[in-house]
Structure 1
Amino acid sequence: MSGKTQTSRANAMFVQAAGLFAQSMQRNSTLARLSGPMPKGEAGAAENIRKQTTADLPIVRSVDLTRGAGDEVRFHFVQPVGAYPIMGSKMAEGKGVGIKHDNSRVRVDQARFPVDLGDTMDELRSPVQVRKIGRPIAQSLMDSYQDQALLTHLAGARGFHDNIEWRVPTEKHADFAEIVVNPVLAPTKNRHYIAGGSNGIGGFGVNAGEVTLQSTDELDMDTVDSVRAMIETIPLPPPAVKVPGDVVANDSPLRVMLVSPDQYSSFSRSKDFRAIQANALARASKAKQHPLFLGECGLWNGILLMKMPKPIRFYAGNEIRFCADYASANESIARVPEAFGTTHAIDRAVLLGGQALAHAFGRSKHGGMPYFWKEKTFDHDDKEELLIGAIHGVQKLRWLVEQGGGVKHFTDHGVIAIDTAVRISAQA
């Protein structure tokens, strides 16, 4: 093969990979809408060695296209500062408040989906053009995997709902740790709540090894009101989500709550649900019709409820991992009450603020972009296969955060898990 032909093919691969990366970043899925756009010019991403999306939305994407940079991307965090002013003529010199920072590492790995396009006889017999449908199938597999990996890390659990549509297996699967790339971290103690009780929600509780949830503790308007009150009273809550162009972002702080389809159904039974949907449309008009407000969503008390694509669900007897201590990331085990039987389960909602999760991308040798296509014929050109791949890693952002008085708590920076009971739908 001539040098000119090799160069031409390399350029074609780069353009194809860049286009694939841009297409993936712009897809209109629930999880994709929780991240801002990359700085302009995805097709020229290699010219800008490192790119990062806005920290005002829950998912922060970082692209590192440097050669030999290793398989980790670091994100940095400046600790909160506590101080009182020095008044009048008192000496201020030498009393400066110290600035401390921490960092979080996100490892990246290669994920690939091959699709068998068959052989010569398959092409003759097939009523469809296999090559034409092969690429959309591969793209759909990768997009679903990316979204489900994001959801799993945000929730701090994969759950046990499972069917053919899942690309991330349950935790018992032999390849689970490889597929999620980075450890899936259970919610920190100060970021884990359950529905029910006199206050509408309470801290995650365990009694005799079982979660202290009743089958009647479903998601409703009182639960959401309690979540809003909790946000306003706990120290250092998740930062408000700031949508580009939202003119009331500072006056009316916004958080996003991803809820399961059954939690959404429970909440939608409220007599005021139509008004809640109208609230979302009204807020969209103040935010230049940002796509975050599209689809099935409703706005109540500063919380935008959105339906997540798949439930993070725990059935009767399933294990739920939790952190029992504020000052430790060690995880303990509780079980869903056996009394839930086959009619009820626990679904996890996730309340999101800014900088909840880091999604890092690395450089592939196939065109130099995070995403890539490969096609191959074999067996003397009789059989054909195509493959889509990505170099990526996902990790919830967690820090050991100064609370004041020298006390530090492990804290999931931008996400709170809220477990509620659900009635299992007939098709679940």
Structure 2
Amino acid sequence: MTNKTVVAAASEKAMYVQAAGLFAQSMQRNSTLGRLSGTLPKGEGGASETIRKQTTADMPIVKTVDLSRGKGDEVEFQFLQPFGAYPIMGSRMAEGKGTGLTYDQARVRVNQARLPVDLGDTMTGLRSVVDFRKLGRPVAQSVMDAFLDQSLLVHMAGARGFQTGIEWRVPTADHPQFAEFLVNPVLAPTKNRHYLADGTHGVAPVSVAGGEIGLQTTDVLSMDVVDGIRTTIESIQLPPPAVKIPGDIVAEDSPLRCLLVSPAQYHAFAADPQFRQLQVAAMNRAAKAKQHPLFLGEVGLWNGVLICKMPKPIRFYAGDEIRYAASFTSETESVATVPASFGTTHAVDRAILLGGQAVAQAFAASGHGGMPFFWKEKTFDHDDKRELLIGAIQGSSKVRWAVDQGNGVKHITDHGAIAIDTAVKIIPGERTA
């Protein structure tokens, strides 16, 4: 009898194919955070043939895949400082008067995250109508995807917030392993990238009085706030770079930024009678951008700001700490609290205005098939029990530089993210749940 050509279930080739499939599925997941990055260069199945791949720098999330083995657990990024110089006119001597180029470096560390799922034992399979083995993989995949999305969100926001619940895959900052979960330090917004909703000016720089953040329960997200954001980014030096969505034919003439808002902020904003016009504007822009999914669904476009709902709120309740930077030139973080007057009816939610290159997400090769994502399934106790494990080797970090302002003074600057804190109403009993 002629033997068939087969690939054994435990072979390295089979592991590689499964890992590549998981990696592609996670990279293409249909979520708001998944749509905030460009696509990786084609050929994910043969990714090991290319040592390093990177998505476009024109989107908020820049992903780098480094599949070189044994090169350490950090991926390096470079930043070219703004070039400030005047031309030399007429016949004046130009030789030897060139202005030098300077750049900074930053590194994103990666770490292994693994999620095991108990698939039960022989008797579990006999007693249940549910096939736990078939259910295990999609459940584990969804949890890992949520963990990656929420990790990105926390780094963008510069805080985890204090909302809890079973749907959160990243614990609050008081968890003993919080730093390990986030891999890289969670950095509070820099002074030039942190604003509060303000009833008079739309938005205003962070203020603190009596140890409490300068917000009132009436300082909610509104069109005035969005207008204030647009005015601010057009007035400040070196604002976050515009987002250039692939296929958008008016990206250069009509620059966009993306405003991630919490569900509570979104619903407060959507109550405005003009909100339907914003949804129509988003649909019209989608027609100019090959129907890119970022424009579709629960989004609105107002004054060059694309408003999108984030998956989970970055929320602070009355008495909770909010970290902020008190100096333009230092990363030292100060602490204020949410006003006690917010009580159990209101909280502070953080919206995040995103430009290009807001967050870097690095992936590295695992020892299981050479891909960033991997899965293992094994039996133990004499093949009576079975367990499935999905893992990823990755890390995220907010992109931050010390940026020369043109006078030799460098301001610590979150490159592509601005935090805007607003008041929101919360559901009865949420604070005590």
Indicate whether the TM-score tops 0.5.
Answer: yes
The yes-or-no answer on 1:63 pairing with 2:32 is: no
Runs of at least 4 residues of structure 1 off by over 2 A?
A: 4-8, 425-428
Could you list the per-position Cα deviations for residues 210-247 of structure 1 after superposition, in whole angstroms to 9, with x for gaps in the alignment?
00100000000000000000010000000000011111
Contact 1:243 1:287 in 2 (8 A): yes
Q: Distance in 2 between matches of 1:427 and 1:66?
A: 50
Could you list the per-position Cα deviations for residues 370-392 of structure 1 after superposition, in whole angstroms to 9, with x for gaps in the alignment?
00000010111000000000000
Structure 2 matches for 1:145-164, cutoff 5 A? 145-164=147-166
Match of 1:380 in 2: 382
Match of 1:169 in 2: 171
Q: Distance in 1 between matches of 2:126 and 2:240?
A: 57
Corresponding residue to 1:334 among 324, 333, 336? 336
Could you list the per-position Cα deviations for residues 3-42 of structure 1 after superposition, in whole angstroms to 9, with x for gaps in the alignment?
x978971000001001110110001100000000000011
**Residue type at the aligned position of 1:272:** Q
Structure 2 matches for 1:2-401, cutoff 5 A? 9-401=11-403
Q: Distance in 1 between matches of 2:30 and 2:94?
A: 53
Q: Distance in 2 between matches of 1:415 and 1:95?
A: 35
Indicate the SS of the match to 2:220.
coil
Structure 1: 5+ residue stretches without partners: none
Shift of 1:124: 0.8
Contact 1:258 1:351 in 2 (8 A): yes
**Residue type at the aligned position of 1:249:** A
Structure 2 vs 1, CA of residues 427 and 92 (structure 1 numbering), >3 Å: closer, same or farther? farther
Q: Distance in 2 between matches of 1:5 and 1:53?
A: 33
Contact 2:8 2:14 in 1 (8 A): no
Q: Distance in 2 between matches of 1:198 and 1:368?
A: 55
Moved more, 384-393 or 78-87: 78-87
Q: Distance in 2 between matches of 1:140 and 1:164?
A: 14
Structure 2 vs 1, CA of residues 308 and 107 (structure 1 numbering), >3 Å: closer, same or farther? same
Q: Distance in 1 between matches of 2:9 and 2:271?
A: 60
Contact 1:258 1:349 in 2 (8 A): yes
TM-score of the aligned structures, taking structure 2 as reference length: 0.97
Contact 2:115 2:391 in 1 (8 A): yes
Q: Distance in 1 between matches of 2:87 and 2:161?
A: 48
Structure 2 vs 1, CA of residues 63 and 427 (structure 1 numbering), >3 Å: closer, same or farther? farther
Could you list the per-position Cα deviations for residues 329-348 of structure 1 after superposition, in whole angstroms to 9, with x for gaps in the alignment?
01010000000000000000
Match of 2:3 in 1: none
Indicate the SS of the match to 1:404.
coil
Structure 2 vs 1, CA of residues 50 and 58 (structure 1 numbering), >3 Å: closer, same or farther? same
Q: Distance in 2 between matches of 1:34 and 1:62?
A: 14
Structure 2 vs 1, CA of residues 5 and 15 (structure 1 numbering), >3 Å: closer, same or farther? closer
Indicate the SS of the match to 2:20.
helix
Q: Distance in 2 between matches of 1:105 and 1:427?
A: 42
Shift of 1:405: 1.0
Shift of 1:87: 1.0
TM-score of the aligned structures, taking structure 1 as reference length: 0.98
Shift of 1:198: 2.3
Shift of 1:276: 0.3
**Residue type at the aligned position of 2:157:** A
Shift of 1:425: 2.7
Percent identity between the aligned chains? 68
Indicate the SS of the match to 1:135.
helix
Q: Distance in 2 between matches of 1:93 and 1:422?
A: 59
Contact 1:262 1:425 in 2 (8 A): no
Contact 1:74 1:105 in 2 (8 A): yes
Shift of 1:126: 1.1
Q: Distance in 2 between matches of 1:426 and 1:254?
A: 36
Q: Distance in 2 between matches of 1:159 and 1:222?
A: 25
Contact 2:344 2:429 in 1 (8 A): no
Shift of 1:404: 1.1
Q: Distance in 1 between matches of 2:266 and 2:22?
A: 33
Q: Distance in 2 between matches of 1:240 and 1:251?
A: 11
Could you list the per-position Cα deviations for residues 101-124 of structure 1 after superposition, in whole angstroms to 9, with x for gaps in the alignment?
001110000001100000011111
Shift of 1:407: 1.2
Number of equivalences: 425
Q: Distance in 1 between matches of 2:38 and 2:249?
A: 17
Q: Distance in 2 between matches of 1:267 and 1:69?
A: 47
**Residue type at the aligned position of 2:67:** L
Indicate the SS of the match to 2:133.
helix
Q: Distance in 2 between matches of 1:89 and 1:270?
A: 60
Moved more, 193-202 or 303-312: 193-202
Could you list the per-position Cα deviations for residues 267-312 of structure 1 after superposition, in whole angstroms to 9, with x for gaps in the alignment?
0011100000000000000000011112210000000000000000
Moved more, 87-96 or 25-34: 87-96
